Amino acid sequence: MIQESQQIIKNGLWSNNPALVQLLGLCPLLAVSNTFINGLGLGIATTMVLAGSNGSVSLIRNFIPKEIRIPIFVMMIASFVTNISLLMNAYTYDLFLTLGIFIPLIVTNCAIIGRAESFASKNKFLPSLLDGLMQGLGFTAVLCLLGAARELVGQGTLFYGAEQLFGEWAKSLTLSFYLTDSKFLFAILPPGAFVFLGLIIAWKNSIDAKSEKIKKASKQQSVEQTSEVLLHE
């Protein structure tokens, strides 16, 4: 059980990350990740929907007729999105306005329906819930990283608009690194998102390749050691 959970956590955050490996949900990922706070806001919303839909799909997985499972998943996801959207409208109204159409569009985020189809409809409640949460957190992490990078390069700030998510006190959280008359619009517009996402994916792949190499080397070493031991004997 613990091993299984560890595997789920590792999959969601790293080895099967929805944004970096599955490359799902690119539309919101690329469109709203222009600041850290926008990325975090959409990430949290997506995570909540993902955990909710994964959990509830898993609960009723044995009663869903196979032929019409996709419409049922979509309806369940849509009702969660409606809840989130109303909650954001009530508590983080400014962020709700900033994210705009991308909140209702969470319904069509293929990362969510993908998890419902490939994991929740085949697994028990608790693992499904955990999987939804971890996939969501993995997605959020990438959104935040992308948002931070684009914000920093584009307009020289970090945590701009934090008050939209955390309330008035958070205004002082905004860090300003440099001021410029002409923003670097490329980083803020969608093409910048593509380039930065590409860089993050390359960075992840290079880490994976490096750890693979180390693993291989240590395996080689252990083989040599054993053969040496065998020779000595």
Q: Name the residues that contact another protein, by CB under 8 A.
A: 182-187, 189, 191, 195
Residue 186 Cβ vs another protein, minimum distance, rounded to whole Å: 4
Distance CA 231, CA 225 (A): 10
- Of 106, 110, 123, 127, which Cα lies nearest the Cα of 22? 110
Return the number of the residue (173 or 195) whose C-beta is nearest another protein. Answer: 195
Task: Map tokens 């099967």 to a residue.
Answer: 16
Task: Give, for 100, the enclosing helix (H) or strand (E).
Answer: none
Q: CB of residue 181 vs another protein: minimum separation in angstroms?
A: 9
Closer to another protein by CB, 93 or 194: give it.
194
- Alpha carbon separation from 176 to 41, 152, 171, 198, 223 (Å, rounded): 20, 9, 12, 26, 54
Q: What letter would DSSP give residue 21?
A: T
- Tell me the CA distances in angstroms from 66 to 61, 118, 121, 157, one per residue in order: 10, 13, 10, 49
Q: Report, in Å, the least distance between residue 175 CB and another protein.
A: 22
Smaller CB separation from another protein, 85 or 155: 155
Would you say 170 or 200 has its CB closer to another protein? 200
Q: Is 157 helix (H, G, I), strand (E, B) or coil?
A: strand
Q: Min. distance of Cβ 182 from another protein in angstroms?
A: 5
Looking at the Cβ atoms of 62 and 182, the one nearer to another protein is 182
Residue pair 144/36 in contact (Cβ under 8 Å)? The answer is yes
Q: How far is CA 122 from CA 7, 36, 113, in A?
A: 16, 35, 13
Instruction: Report in angstroms how near the CB of residue 110 gets to another protein at its nearest.
Output: 24
Cβ proximity to another protein, 9 vs 153, nearer residue: 153
Helices (H), the chain: 2-10, 26-32, 36-59, 69-91, 93-99, 110-115, 125-155, 163-166, 185-188, 190-232
Closest contact distance (angstroms) between CB of 100 and another protein is 22
